[in-house]
Amino acid sequence: QVIKCKAAVLWEANKPFSIEEVEVAPPKEHEVRIKIMATGICRSDDHVVSGALVMPFPVILGHEAAGVVESVGQGVTSVKPGDKVIPLFVPQCGECKSCLSTKGNLCSETDLGTRAGLMPDGTTRFTCKGKAVYHFLGTSTFTEYTVVHESAVAKIDPAAPLEKVCLIGCGFSTGYGAALQTAKVEPGSTCAIFGLGGVGLSVVMGCKVAGASRIIAVDINSDKFAKAKQLGATDCINPKDFSKPIHEVLLEMTGGGVDYSFEVIGRTDTMTAALACCQCNYGVSVIVGVPPAAQKITFDPMLLFTGRSWKGSIFGGWKSKDAVPKLVADYMKKTFVLDPLITHTLPWTKINEGFDLLRTGK
């Protein structure tokens, strides 16, 4: 059956979300229709609103969520109606080069490539006012019901609180994994994290779990420092408090640079500062924030020639279908906390207020 439900549709860039009635088609072969129970707001969604991440319109955004399977298409074996699940914006088909490699996690079925906004068969499952509406990152969670490919959904512990573990769908896993999986932070090491939003704070948690002895949190909003310290930061610094470039401040603070740095904002100037602040010979810098469209980085190649490594990390380097159920199990075992990452809980019709809170750093 086609389901009629409410969704937050973005008709064009730089406009508020509009709560509309949409029609959600039934799942086709190897697809799953999910009733979304909780969704987080991520800066990547806002990048589409601002035009920094280019996507086709109209679109239903949202990619960090948890829900319950409503129905499944033909051939679906990994989940059944009633299962609690997390949609995966990085799918895991199990067959492409990245999925088959022990080093990779960016499945070729991802929506970050050429098929932006459509299901693998090149069509959409959403209609609004007679118009086709695009999907976002193969998930589209700002709606009461969504359809995802079977490779983009993970079954989780039925006892898990969906309003908390939805964060494992993006923000928490992305930051935590950047420290543990991508950088492979070692005990006793020194780390610097640029940007203390939900993902940056999750990097702080990952560095702490990995046994880093010094975790330096960097943000231009000092209101974020108390929470960063609560989660494991040993030092907090605001670039606005210094006259010299922040990478020089960090080099001095650490006697020659940090072992690991993380850029969790998505700005080219902070990406180069994060690279420059790590140790010149064996420092590793990880780009975690989504880079802005159509911007290039200019930097002195000597920064890399001396031995530094520059890496990117998507979804924390986790193989999504394998890792998400395990991360949920770890949360249930209290290996890590999620509550400090949740600042507000709003009814989803107040989605525009939620984005205002994100943009004002609250």
**122 Rama class: left (phi>0) / alpha (psi -120 to 50) / beta:** left
Measure the CA angle with vertex 45, ends 43 and 51; round to 5°.
Answer: 100
d(CA 344, CA 40): 10
Parallel, antiparallel or unpaired: strands 126-128 and 131-133: antiparallel
φ and ψ of 303, to 5 deg? -55, -35
d(CA 25, CA 324): 27
d(CA 220, CA 335): 30
Catalytic: 63? yes
Catalytic: 44? yes
CB-based contact 115:10 (threshold 8 Å): no
Q: Which of 63, 135, 149, 247 is catalytic?
A: 63
Q: Which of 5, 30, 44, 140 is catalytic?
A: 44
What tokens does 17 get?
Answer: 């979300």
Q: Which residues are CB-neighbours of 356 under 8 A, at least 6 positions away?
A: none
List 10's β-bridge partners, or say none: 59
The SS3 assignment for 150 reads: helix
Burial of 26 (0-12, 13-18, 19+ CB in 10 A): middle
List 133's β-bridge partners, or say none: 126
d(CA 119, CA 82): 23
d(CA 240, CA 155): 44
Catalytic: 18? no
Parallel, antiparallel or unpaired: strands 18-24 and 3-9: antiparallel
Q: Which of 47, 135, 149, 247 is catalytic?
A: 47
Q: Which of 93, 170, 191, 207 is catalytic?
A: 170
Q: Which residues are CB-neighbours of 296 under 8 A, at least 6 positions away?
A: 268
- Residue 27: alpha-carbon gap to chain centroid: 25
- Residue numbers annotated as active site: 42, 44, 47, 63, 170
